[in-house]
C-alpha cells in the first residue's frame, strides 16, 4: 500500500526536471587529472536530467541542486505490474525512447550504425546485461570521442525487463579527447 | 533551352516576416552540417531567436550531399534532422547567395546581432610537386565532387582507361575514392552517384589502386569502417608489402582500442590478401611521399609518379617522416591527391590564418571581431566526421548563447535580419532559393532518380536548379502523372454530375 503510494507520488514527479550532480569517478577528465571543474553555466535542456513517462522512481531520488558540472542521465525504468505507468514498447531502443521524451540524444544517422552521435555510457551493473556489440557497432564506437569501457551506442540498446533501472549518461564532449588522452590527428 | 532571366520579385507564403520580432537575430554563413547543427542548437536554446542560413549553392547540406560517398546512404539520414531545422518557423534558408560577393560580411553584421561562419573548406591542399597540373592528376575533392554531382566538377571527365591508379593520402576520403573506383557497377547503379560518373566507371579499365602514405601503418588516418569495406570489396584482393609491417605486431598491445582494432584488421588483410582469382586489387604503400609526376613521352599527360622513400622518426601519432634519399617510380595513369581540404578566406573583413587555413578563433569567437563566430571545418580545420562537426557546432552555439546572456552582444538594438538582406540581394539581381523551393528541386531529383532506379538523379547545373522551381509554378495538366490526371478527371466528373443533378 505504502509502496504503491510512493510509486504513485513518484509518477507525478516524472514530468519534472531534476538535476543530478555527476559521479566524478567515471569521468575520463577526472581520471586524467584534466578536470577543469567549473561548469560553463549553460542551462539548455540537454544538460538537465529528465525522467521519462514510463519511469517509476523508487523513493530515494534526492537530487542536490548543484550548479557544478551536470551530467545527462536518462532513467529507463520499467514499471512494476501493480501500477498504471505506461511502458516503453517491448524491444524499443534507448535512442527512440530518448527522442520520445525529449532527451537531447542525437541520432544523426537514425539508428543505421553510420555515426556515433548517440554514444552513451551505461551504468556498470547493466552494461554486463547487454548483449555483445556487433562488429559494426564497435567500428562506430571507435570514432566516438571520450570512449570508455562502458560505452555503447544508444540506438543499439534494446530495452528489456532485465535492464530495469539502467542509467545512461550522455558524454560531455567539449573537447575531442580519447580516454587515454590521445588527440585525433587530422585526416 | 532559354528562360526569362529577368529577376522576379515575389513574396512566397512561408517566408517568415518577423519585422516586429525583438529577439536575437543570427545569420549563419554556410548550409552544411556545421551551419545546420549550429542553427539547431540556437533555436533550441533561445525561444526568441531567429536564425537565417545563407548558402552559396541553390541546394543545401554541403558535404553531406557532395562529400559523403554514394554507397553510404545511411550517413545522409542526417539530412532529415537538417530539414526539420530548416522548416522551423524561426529559421529560414536562403540558397544561391554568395557571401563575400553578393553580400559582404559587414552588411550581414549590420543586419544581424551575430554572424556565424560555417562555410567549410572548399579548397584543397596541393602536393606542391612538378607535374601536378598534368592531365590525369586530380584532387580527391574534385574527384569526389565529380561523382557526387557538385556543379563545379561536372566537366571533370577523368580518364579511366589506365590499369593502375595511385591515391596520395590514406584518410577516409582516399578510401572512398579507392572504393568507388573498384566497386562493382551493379552496386553503384542503385546509389545516387551521377549518371555520367556511373557510365564512366562502367567503362573504367582501372584494376589496381595503390593508396600511398608518408608514414607507417600506425599513423594511418582512415577509420575501421572504411577499411573493412575495402577488405570486403567483391572481386578484389589486398596487396601490401610485408616490409611495411615490420615491428607492428609487437606494438599492438600498447595501442588504444580504436587504433588497435584498425591495425589488426590491416595486418589481417595484408597477411591473407584475398582470392587470387580476383580481378581487382588494392593496397596501402607506406613510408612514401610524392616528389614528381612523371609525364609520358609527349609530355602531355601523367604516366607515372616518383615517390621518395621515408623512414620514421619518433612513434605514435607524432612520428615524423624523414627522407632517406631513395626513390621509386610507379607506373599509373590516374593520380588522385587526397591530402586534405582547405578553407579559403571569404571576405577581407574576416581575419584568416593562411598557415593553418582557418579563421582564427577562441572557442568559436572570431579573434578581435565582436559578434562574429565560426563553427565546423572553417573553425578547427578540415578533419573529422559529421559527429565531430556536430559537437563542435554545439560548442559554438553554446558560446554564442553565453555571450548573449552575458550582454556581450547588444540585443536591445532591433536588427532587420533577412528582410534587409533579401531586399539588398534583390537590388543586386540575386535570385535566392528558399527551402520550399529546394524541396521542389529535391522532388524533381527524386522523380528523375526513380526513372533510373536510383534514390535521386542530382541536377548538375545551377541554372537548371533555378529553372526547376520556376517551372514548377507553371506546371500544366499535360505534365501531370497519370494518377494525378485520373484524379482531376474524376474530380471534374463528380462536380459535373453533382451540378447536373441539381439543375
A7 at interface of B, judged by CB pairs closer than 8 A: no
Residue among B383, B372, B319, B380 at smallest CA distance from B349:
B372
Highest average pLDDT, of A39-53, A64-78, B75-89, comes from B75-89
A123-150 mean pLDDT: 91
Instruction: Give CB contacts under 8 A, 24+ apart, made by A36-40.
Output: A37/A68, A37/A69, A38/A68, A38/A69, A39/A67, A39/A68, A39/A69, A39/A70, A40/B398, A40/B402
Cα–Cα dist B202/B183, whole Å: 10
Interface test with A, best of B170, B364, B391, B395 (most A CBs within 10 A): B391
For residue A3, which phi and psi values (nearest 5 degrees)? Answer: -65, -45
Residues in B lying within 8 Å of A, measured between beta carbons: 41, 44-45, 72, 74-75, 77-78, 80-81, 171-172, 219, 221-225, 228, 256-259, 261-262, 317, 340, 381-388, 390-391, 395, 398, 401-402
Q: What is the pLDDT of residue B337?
A: 98
CB atoms within 10 A of CB B96: 22
Question: What percentage of chain B exceeds 90 in pLDDT?
Answer: 85
Low-confidence winner among B132-141, B368-377, B384-393 (lowest mean pLDDT): B384-393
pLDDT digits (tens, 9 = 90+) for A157-186: 988 877 877 888 887 764 333 333 344 444
Contacts of residue A139 in chain B, CB cutoff 8 Å? 223-225, 228, 261
Query: Which residue matches cell numbers 620514421?
Result: B312
pLDDT greater than 60 at residue B117 = yes
Cα–Cα dist A178/B293, whole Å: 38
pLDDT greater than 80 at residue B158 = yes
Q: What is the pLDDT of residue A98?
A: 83
CA distances B134 to A119, B137, B204, Å, are: 45, 6, 20
Q: What is the mean pLDDT of chain A?
A: 60
Q: What is the pLDDT of residue A164?
A: 75
Which residue among B74, B383, B390 sits closest to A112, beta carbon to beta carbon?
B74
B311-322 mean pLDDT: 91
pLDDT greater than 70 at residue B105 = yes
Interface test with A, best of B37, B41, B385, B397 (most A CBs within 10 A): B385
Query: Do the chains contact at A40 and B402, CB–CB below 8 Å?
Result: yes
B152-160 mean pLDDT: 96
Which residue among B72, B80, B387 sits closest to A110, beta carbon to beta carbon?
B80
Low-confidence winner among A73-87, B129-143, B173-187 (lowest mean pLDDT): A73-87
Q: What is the pLDDT of residue B83?
A: 98
A140 at interface of B, judged by CB pairs closer than 8 A: yes
Residue among B163, B159, B122, B162 at smallest CA distance from B142:
B122
User: With bands split at pLDDT 50, 70 and 90, how would you rate the model's confidence at B460?
Assistant: very high
Q: What is the pLDDT of residue A21?
A: 43
Q: What is the pLDDT of residue B469?
A: 67
A38 at interface of B, judged by CB pairs closer than 8 A: no
Low-confidence winner among A101-105, B4-8, B282-286 (lowest mean pLDDT): B4-8
User: With bands split at pLDDT 50, 70 and 90, how would you rate the model's confidence at B307?
Assistant: very high
CB atoms within 10 A of CB B368: 8
Cα–Cα dist B367/B27, whole Å: 18
Query: Do the chains contact at B340 and A44, CB–CB below 8 Å?
Result: no
pLDDT greater than 90 at residue A70 = no
Cα–Cα dist B50/B42, whole Å: 8
Query: Do the chains contact at A112 and B256, CB–CB below 8 Å?
Result: no
Interface test with B, best of A114, A177, A183 (most B CBs within 10 A): A114
Cα–Cα dist B500/B120, whole Å: 63
More confident residue, B100 or B501: B100
pLDDT digits (tens, 9 = 90+) for B224-267: 999 999 999 999 999 999 999 999 999 999 999 999 999 999 99
User: With bands split at pLDDT 50, 70 and 90, how would you rate the model's confidence at B100?
Assistant: very high
Cα–Cα dist B438/B434, whole Å: 6
Cell readout for B252 is 599492438
Query: Do the chains contact at B383 and A187, CB–CB below 8 Å?
Result: yes
pLDDT digits (tens, 9 = 90+) for B48-79: 999 999 999 999 999 999 999 999 999 999 99
pLDDT greater than 60 at residue B96 = yes
Q: What's the whole-model pTM score? A: 0.80
Q: What is the mean pLDDT of chain B?
A: 92
pLDDT greater than 60 at residue A149 = yes
Radius of gyration, alpha carbons of chain A: 17
More confident residue, B167 or A89: B167
Strand ranges in B55-187 using DSSP code E only, listed in sequence order:
91-94, 114-117, 123-124, 137-139, 164-168
Q: Are A77 and A55 in contact (CB under 8 A)?
A: yes
Nearest CA in chain B to A102: B44
Q: What is the ipTM of this complex?
A: 0.80
pLDDT digits (tens, 9 = 90+) for A11-45: 333 333 333 444 555 555 555 555 554 333 333 33
CA distances B472 to B2, B66, B488, Å, are: 16, 25, 18
Contacts of residue B225 in chain A, CB cutoff 8 Å? 136, 139-140, 143
Cα–Cα dist B489/B494, whole Å: 9
Query: Do the chains contact at A145 and B388, CB–CB below 8 Å?
Result: yes
pLDDT greater than 90 at residue B376 = yes
Residue among B439, B436, B431, B438 at smallest CA distance from B8:
B431
Q: What is the pLDDT of residue B275?
A: 87
Cell readout for B438 is 529546394
pLDDT greater than 90 at residue B311 = yes
Interface test with B, best of A48, A105, A108 (most B CBs within 10 A): A108
More confident residue, B138 or A175: B138
Instruction: Give CB contacts under 8 A, 24+ apart, made by B129-133.
Output: B129/B290, B129/B291, B129/B292, B129/B293, B130/B292, B130/B293, B131/B292, B131/B293, B131/B294, B131/B295, B131/B302, B132/B293, B132/B337
Query: Do the chains contact at A186 and B382, CB–CB below 8 Å?
Result: yes
User: With bands split at pLDDT 50, 70 and 90, how would you rate the model's confidence at B10?
Assistant: very low
Amino acid at each position: 500500500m505504502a509502496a504503491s503510494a510512493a510509486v504513485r507520488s513518484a509518477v507525478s514527479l516524472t514530468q519534472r526536471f531534476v538535476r543530478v550532480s555527476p559521479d566524478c569517478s567515471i569521468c575520463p577528465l577526472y581520471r586524467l587529472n584534466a578536470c577543469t571543474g567549473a561548469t560553463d553555466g549553460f542551462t539548455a535542456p540537454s544538460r538537465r536530467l529528465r525522467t521519462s513517462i514510463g519511469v517509476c522512481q523508487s523513493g530515494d531520488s534526492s537530487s542536490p541542486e548543484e550548479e557544478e558540472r551536470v551530467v545527462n542521465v536518462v532513467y529507463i525504468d520499467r514499471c512494476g505490474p501493480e501500477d498504471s505507468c505506461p511502458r516503453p514498447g517491448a524491444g524499443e531502443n534507448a535512442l527512440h525512447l530518448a527522442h520520445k521524451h525529449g532527451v537531447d540524444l542525437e541520432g544523426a544517422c537514425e539508428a543505421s550504425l553510420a555515426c556515433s552521435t548517440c554514444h552513451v555510457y551505461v551504468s556498470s551493473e547493466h552494461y554486463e546485461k547487454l548483449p555483445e556489440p556487433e562488429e559494426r557497432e564497435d567500428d562506430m564506437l571507435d570514432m566516438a570521442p571520450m570512449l570508455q569501457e562502458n560505452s555503447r551506442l544508444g540506438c543499439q540498446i534494446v530495452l528489456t525487463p532485465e535492464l530495469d533501472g539502467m542509467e545512461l549518461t550522455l558524454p560531455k564532449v567539449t573537447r575531442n579527447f580519447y580516454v587515454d588522452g590521445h588527440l585525433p590527428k587530422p585526416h | 533551352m532559354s528562360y526569362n532571366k529577368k529577376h522576379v520579385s515575389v513574396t512566397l507564403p512561408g517566408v517568415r516576416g518577423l519585422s516586429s520580432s525583438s529577439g536575437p537575430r543570427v545569420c549563419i554563413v554556410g548550409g552544411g552540417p556545421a551551419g545546420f547543427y549550429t542553427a539547431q542548437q540556437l533555436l533550441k536554446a533561445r525561444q526568441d531567436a531567429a536564425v537565417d542560413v545563407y548558402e552559396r549553392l541553390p541546394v543545401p547540406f554541403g558535404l553531406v550531399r557532395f562529400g559523403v560517398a554514394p554507397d553510404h546512404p545511411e550517413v545522409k539520414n542526417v539530412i532529415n534532422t537538417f530539414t526539420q531545422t530548416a522548416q522551423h518557423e524561426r529559421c529560414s534558408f536562403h540558397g544561391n547567395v554568395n557571401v563575400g560577393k553578393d553580400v559582404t560580411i559587414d552588411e550581414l553584421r549590420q543586419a544581424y546581432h551575430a554572424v556565424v561562419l560555417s562555410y567549410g573548406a572548399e579548397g584543397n591542399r596541393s602536393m606542391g610537386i612538378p607535374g601536378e597540373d598534368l592531365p590525369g592528376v586530380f584532387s580527391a575533392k574534385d574527384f569526389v565532387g565529380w561523382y557526387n554531382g557538385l556543379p563545379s566538377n561536372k566537366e571533370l571527365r577523368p580518364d579511366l582507361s589506365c590499369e593502375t591508379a595511385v591515391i596520395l593520402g590514406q584518410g577516409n576520403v582516399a578510401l572512398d575514392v579507392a572504393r568507388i573506383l573498384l566497386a562493382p557497377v551493379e552496386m553503384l547503379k542503385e546509389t545516387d552517384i551521377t549518371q555520367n560518373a556511373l557510365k564512366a566507371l562502367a567503362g573504367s579499365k582501372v584494376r589496381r589502386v595503390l593508396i600511398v602514405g608518408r608514414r607507417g601503418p600506425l599513423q594511418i588516418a582512415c577509420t575501421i569502417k572504411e577499411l573493412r569495406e575495402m577488405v570486403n570489396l567483391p572481386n578484389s584482393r589486398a596487396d601490401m608489402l610485408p616490409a611495411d609491417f615490420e615491428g607492428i605486431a609487437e606494438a599492438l598491445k600498447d595501442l588504444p582500442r580504436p587504433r588497435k582494432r584498425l591495425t589488426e584488421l590491416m595486418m589481417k588483410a595484408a597477411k591473407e590478401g584475398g582470392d587470387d582469382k580476383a580481378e581487382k586489387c588494392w593496397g596501402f604503400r607506406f613510408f612514401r611521399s610524392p616528389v614528381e609526376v612523371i609525364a609520358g613521352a609527349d609530355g602531355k599527360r601523367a604516366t607515372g609518379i616518383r615517390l621518395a622513400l621515408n623512414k620514421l622518426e619518433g612513434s605514435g601519432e607524432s612520428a615524423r617522416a624523414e627522407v632517406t634519399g631513395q626513390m621509386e617510380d610507379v607506373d599509373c595513369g590516374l593520380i588522385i591527391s587526397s591530402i586534405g581540404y582547405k578553407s579559403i578566406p571569404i571576405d577581407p573583413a574576416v581575419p584568416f590564418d593562411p598557415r593553418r587555413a582557418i579563421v582564427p578563433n577562441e572557442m568559436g569567437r572570431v579573434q578581435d571581431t565582436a559578434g562574429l563566430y565560426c563553427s565546423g571545418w572553417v573553425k578547427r580545420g578540415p578533419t573529422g566526421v559529421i559527429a565531430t562537426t556536430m559537437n563542435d557546432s554545439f560548442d559554438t552555439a553554446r558560446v554564442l548563447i553565453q555571450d548573449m546572456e552575458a550582454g556581450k552582444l547588444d540585443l536591445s538594438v532591433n536588427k532587420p535580419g533577412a528582410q534587409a538582406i533579401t531586399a539588398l540581394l534583390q537590388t543586386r539581381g540575386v535570385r535566392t532559393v528558399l527551402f520550399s523551393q529546394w524541396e521542389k528541386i529535391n522532388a524533381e531529383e527524386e522523380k528523375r532518380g526513380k526513372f533510373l532506379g536510383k534514390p535521386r538523379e542530382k541536377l548538375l547545373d545551377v541554372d537548371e536548379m533555378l529553372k526547376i522551381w520556376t517551372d514548377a509554378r507553371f506546371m500544366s495538366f499535360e505534365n501531370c502523372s497519370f494518377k494525378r490526371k485520373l484524379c482531376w478527371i474524376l474530380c471534374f466528373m463528380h462536380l459535373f454530375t453533382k451540378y447536373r443533378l441539381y439543375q
